[in-house]
């Protein structure tokens, strides 16, 4: 029986599957062992099982325990760094290949939900909300950029027309992406886990990996068991905890905070988000929010560098919510939680291979819902022998944060203060 519970979140409280998987004991043999049962790990495992591979997933806590089961639940297209940045930084060849993948994650999520009949409150559409005229100009450029790469389900929203979607006067305009959307993320992870198990896959929980042994085959070792596998995938992201020290140096865990109100009356829901799309603003330290399947407002924001848990989550997020929606001043907050995502220096996913058969993927820098699903399919393809997309990501240089472990947090925090001030000044 698992000894580690999920965070006290709305997602855990409304999880469809509360089955506790067994702990790994003894020795097992498989084609691929995946370390980590979040979106990256489960997506990889499911894609491999669909290809007929014998796969075992080893999870230190619970399925979706980390960012996959605590995030804002927003399906946001592209990467943290958009397509124009990728062309400018990595050249035309990589840029063209990355542009083809920029919208693939959201398509894969919808495909899985439909194929496996996953009940996760899928709703379509997300709005990028501009807090000042400069951000609105940036959204105009984003629309033109995405359309130039084949994404045509976009609508620019003026300061007045955005109020058809968001019942707040905070915004100077916005961009509606109909290929975006939102889901109950933990139920998405659990639904894919069940699909993987239905295909013959095994998941072991409460089985923290204490050692990886490279070789042909490799070994994944826990306190009570071992998995011997032809290939290993490390998918721990911000919860990797010492398994790949050289890889961990190249990314930094960061925390974000989320609150959920009590269920709101239907007329209030319509007043807040008339079209039921999810929203994220365009600030460097952004706010994001949406309505749950049962009519609660889920509101998130705030960033703690180094993944420190703040003392009082409500004191950070409630003022942000009330700035957007003053009418919620008397709304009861039923849940408040924090979770870690992984930030990289270049804000691009880090993907690689160690030796002949040890793969890893991490560092989605706030775009983990879509990017992690895409990466699972890419890792699966690479293990199956098709490395085309994997090689694109693996070819990108991976840098450490300046200052090492001691100074990377204050350096990054100072940078955040600078960009936050620019947002406030609208420059």
Report pLDDT digits (tens) over 343-363.
888 899 999 999 999 999 999
The predicted pLDDT at position 232 comes to: 98
Least confident range from 165-179, 186-200, 333-347, 399-413: namely 399-413
pLDDT at site 333: 97
Q: What is the model's pTM?
A: 0.93
Listed in sequence order, the residues at least 6 apart from 327 whose beta carbon sits closer than 8 Å to its beta carbon are 268, 271, 272
Residues 398 and 90: their CA atoms lie apart, in Å, by: 12
Is the pLDDT score of 39 beyond 90? yes
Q: Is the pLDDT of residue 195 over 70?
A: yes
For the stretch 234-288, pLDDT in tens is 999 888 878 998 898 888 888 889 999 999 999 999 999 999 999 999 998 899 9
Which two three-digit tokens encode residue 347?
């804000």
Is 29:228 a contact under the CB 8 Å cutoff? yes
What is the reported pLDDT for 250?
Answer: 87
Q: What pLDDT shows up at residue 401?
A: 72
Rounded Cα–Cα distance for residues 176 and 33 (Å):
40
The pLDDT score that the predictor gives to residue 426 is 60
Question: Which uninterrupted H or E stretch holds 377?
Answer: helix 368-383
In this prediction, residues 321-347 reach a mean pLDDT of: 94
Residue 254 is predicted with a pLDDT of 86
pLDDT at 341 (0 to 100)? 87
Higher-scoring residue by pLDDT: 366, 123: 123
Which residues, at least 6 apart from 73, have a Cβ–Cβ distance to it below 8 Å? 11, 182, 183, 184, 185, 278, 290, 298, 369
Mean pLDDT, all residues of the chain: 92
Task: Using the predicted structure, report yes or no on whether residue 309 has a pLDDT greater than 90.
Answer: no
Question: pLDDT by residue (tens digit) across 127-151?
Answer: 999 999 999 999 999 999 999 999 9
Query: Is the pLDDT at 316 greater than 70, yes or no?
Result: yes
- CA angle at 179 for the pair 177 and 184, rounded to the nearest 5°: 105
pLDDT value of position 240: 82
Q: What is the pLDDT of residue 34?
A: 98
CB of 14 within 8 A of CB of 187? yes
Sorted by sequence, the CB contacts under 8 Å of residue 285 that are 6+ apart come out as 301, 302, 303, 416, 419, 420, 423
Task: Give rounded-to-5 percent helix, strand, coil for the chain.
Answer: 35, 25, 35
- The pLDDT value given to residue 2: 47
Mean pLDDT of 210-219: 95
**Looking at residues 201-222, what average pLDDT do you find?**
96
279 or 303, greater pLDDT = 279
| Beta carbons within 8 Å of 329's beta carbon, 6+ residues apart | 322
Phi, psi of 192, deg, nearest 5: -70, -35
Q: Is the pLDDT of residue 390 over 80?
A: yes
Q: In Å, what is the CA distance from 203 to each residue of 37, 51, 213, 388? A: 8, 18, 20, 28
**Residue range 391-402: mean pLDDT, rounded:** 87
C-beta separation of 317 from 323 below 8 A: no
3-state secondary structure of 52: coil
pLDDT score for 427? 53
Nearest to 427 by CA among 135, 143, 172, 157: 135
pLDDT of res. 311: 63
**How many CB atoms sit inside 10 A of residue 113's CB?**
17
Average pLDDT score over residue span 112-140: 98
């Amino acid at each position: 029986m698992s000894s580690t519970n999920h965070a006290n979140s709305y997602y855990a409280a409304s999880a469809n599957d509360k089955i506790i998987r067994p702990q790994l004991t003894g020795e097992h043999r498989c084609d691929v062992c995946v370390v980590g049962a979040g979106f990256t790990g489960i997506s990889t495992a499911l894609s491999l099982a669909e290809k007929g591979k014998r796969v075992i997933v080893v999870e230190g806590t619970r399925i979706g325990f980390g960012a996959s089961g605590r995030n804002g639940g927003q399906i946001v297209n592209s990467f943290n760094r958009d397509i124009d940045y990728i062309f400018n930084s990595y050249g035309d060849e990589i840029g063209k290949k990355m542009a083809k993948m920029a919208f693939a994650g959201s398509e894969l999520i919808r495909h899985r939900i439909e194929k496996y009949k996953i009940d996760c409150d899928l709703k379509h559409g997300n709005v990028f909300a501009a807090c000042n005229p400069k951000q609105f100009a940036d959204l105009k450029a984003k629309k033109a950029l995405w359309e130039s790469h084949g994404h045509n389900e976009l609508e620019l929203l003026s300061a007045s027309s955005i109020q058809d979607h968001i019942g707040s006067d905070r915004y100077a305009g916005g961009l509606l992406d109909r290929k975006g959307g939102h889901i109950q993320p933990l139920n998405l992870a659990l639904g894919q886990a069940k699909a993987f198990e239905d295909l013959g896959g095994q998941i072991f929980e409460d089985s923290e990996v204490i050692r990886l042994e490279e070789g042909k085959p490799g070994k994944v070792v826990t306190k009570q068991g071992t998995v011997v596998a032809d290939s290993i995938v490390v998918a721990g992201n911000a919860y990797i905890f010492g398994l790949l020290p050289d890889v961990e140096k190249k990314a930094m865990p960061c925390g974000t905070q989320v609150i959920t109100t009590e269920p709101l009356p239907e007329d209030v829901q319509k007043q807040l988000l008339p079209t039921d799309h999810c929203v994220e603003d365009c600030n460097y330290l952004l706010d994001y929010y949406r309505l749950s399947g049962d009519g609660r407002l889920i509101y998130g924001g705030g960033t703690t560098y180094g993944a420190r848990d703040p003392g009082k989550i409500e004191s950070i997020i409630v003022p942000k919510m009330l700035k957007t929606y003053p009418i919620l001043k008397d709304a009861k907050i039923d849940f408040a939680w924090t979770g870690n995502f992984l930030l990289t220096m270049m804000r691009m996913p880090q993907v690689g291979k160690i030796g002949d058969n040890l793969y890893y993927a991490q560092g989605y820098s706030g775009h983990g819902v879509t990017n992690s699903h895409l990466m699972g399919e890419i890792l699966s393809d690479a293990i199956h022998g098709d490395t085309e997309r994997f090689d694109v990501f693996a070819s990108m240089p991976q840098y450490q944060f300046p200052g090492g472990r001691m100074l990377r947090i204050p350096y990054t925090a100072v940078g955040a203060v600078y960009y936050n001030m620019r947002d406030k000044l609208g420059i």
